[in-house]
Amino acid sequence: MNIHINGKVYSLPHEVNITVSAALTLHFIEPQQSTFAVALNGDFVGKTNYDTTIVSNGDSIDVLQPIQGG
Amino acid sequence: MSLNIYGQQLNSRLLIGSALYPSPQIMKQAILASGSQVITLSLKRQNPNEQSGQQIWQYLQDVVKYVNGFLLPNTAGCKTAKEAITLAKMSREIFQTNWLKLEVIGDDYNLQPDPIELLNAAEQLINDGFNILPYCTDDLVLCQRLYDLGCQVIMPWASPIGTGKGLMNPYNLETIRLRLPQATLILDAGIGKPSDACLAMEMGYDGVLLNSAVALADNPVLMAKAFNQAIQAGEQGYVAGIMEQRQTAHPSTPTLDMPFWHQN
């Protein structure tokens, strides 16, 4: 299956749904070293729900971090 | 005199952005010179191969701690209430604050807020416990609706973001002040010169939020100091009570017992 993280496509070998936590390991080497928040298909996913929220084929994850702003 | 934002007393009436500075060091010096205790910031997509994002975040935290200040995350770039609500929740988790500068843009050309999406987002976010500081146009009825929803702070624009054109419609801004005497009014966006900020404060506005005017100045640190002083001057002028304008000249010097030429 394919999932999108910050616009980049990740192809997984099996049609098995994974959790947000597992998906983040595709994006990060060390997630614990970063400050970030997650949305799945445009909806916020709190950190406490990473292990229980399922990512399916075609889903899109946004991982956002702080930046300067006005 | 202090500014009250959702129960928080602040020593400065200037809220300042953290973007567009020539360097992080100049940003820090400018924020210190501004005297501001409220610093805006945002969220962007994380790049795992880029360490600078984490470093900037650490730097911003240090600055905010140093000035005993507060973070004000924004929802820049959002075009719908749904996008803004999602970004708001992500910001709250990261920044651990209920404060939110709510931006919902309706037009890409002049970055004009979408009043309908803005009201929709504000209502849902207030119900979710956020303390909203909505960036809006200088439309009295829109400001009234936002206030009625529970926005204690309203932030009408002076002119479109980043233009530096100053107060496009002083009449509109004065009318909002007159009609919403209980609201905390902060002029946001389009400020170019310290005198723009001073003028807003002389109108009775409670504060000013700006970024480009300082960050894009030839000397951002000196400009930050100038805005700091201009805002204090404008506020003190308003509190002191500005004299009524008169149609005809009135001599300042007493005319009684003037020498020589009027003695006949």
**Domain spans in chain A, listed from the N-terminal domain onward:** 2-64
- Chain B neighbors of A44, CB-CB under 8 A: 86, 89-90, 93
- The verdict on a CB contact (< 8 Å) between B42 and A63 is no
Contact A69 B17 (CB under 8 A): yes
The structure tokens listed for B18 are: 């953290």
Q: Which residues 58-97 in chain B show a CB within 8 A of chain A?
A: 60, 73-74, 76, 82-83, 86-87, 89-91, 93-95
Kindly report the pTM of this predicted structure.
Answer: 0.93
* Residue B245 located in a structural domain: no
In this structure, what CATH number is given to the domain that contains residue B31? 3.20.20.70
Q: How far is A31 from chain B (nearest CA, A)?
A: 9
**Residue B225 covered by a domain:** yes
Among candidates A27, A36, A69 on the partner chain, residue whose Cβ is nearest the Cβ of B41: A69
Task: State the residue range of the domain holding B207.
Answer: 12-240
Nearest by CB: A67 against B42, B83, B211: B42
Question: Structurally, what CATH architecture does the domain formed by A2-64 represent?
Answer: Roll (3.10)
Q: Is residue B250 part of a domain?
A: no
Low-confidence ranges of chain A (pLDDT < 50): none
Shortest distance, CA A58 to any CA of chain B (angstroms) = 19
Provide the number of structural domains found in chain B: 1
For chain A, what is the mean pLDDT? 91
> Which amino acid type is present at position B72?
L
Quickly list H helices, chain B. Answer: 24-34, 52-66, 81-95, 115-127, 140-149, 170-179, 194-202, 212-215, 220-240
User: What is the per-residue pLDDT for B74?
Assistant: 98
B247 within some domain: no
Question: What is this model's ipTM?
Answer: 0.94
Smallest CA–CA distance, residue B69 to chain A, in Å, is 16
Q: pLDDT tens, position by position, for chain B (264 residues)?
A: 789 999 999 999 999 999 999 999 999 999 999 999 999 999 999 888 777 778 889 999 999 999 999 999 999 999 999 999 999 999 999 999 999 999 999 999 999 999 999 999 999 999 999 999 999 999 999 999 999 999 999 999 999 999 999 999 999 999 999 999 999 999 999 999 999 999 999 999 999 999 999 999 999 999 999 999 999 999 999 999 999 999 999 989 888 888 876 655
Asked if B43's CB is within 8 angstroms of A37's CB, the reply is yes
Active site residues of B: 101
* Contact criterion met (CB < 8 Å) for B83 and A63: no
Dihedral angle over CA of B46, B50, B54, B57, nearest 10: -80
pLDDT score for B264: 56
Is B65 a domain residue? yes
3-state secondary structure B124-150: HHHHCCCEEEEEECCCHHHHHHHHHHC
Helix (H, G, I), strand (E, B) or coil at B123: helix
Residue A4's φ and ψ, nearest 5 degrees, are: -115, 130
Nearest CA in chain B to A70: B17
What pLDDT is recorded for position A8?
Answer: 94
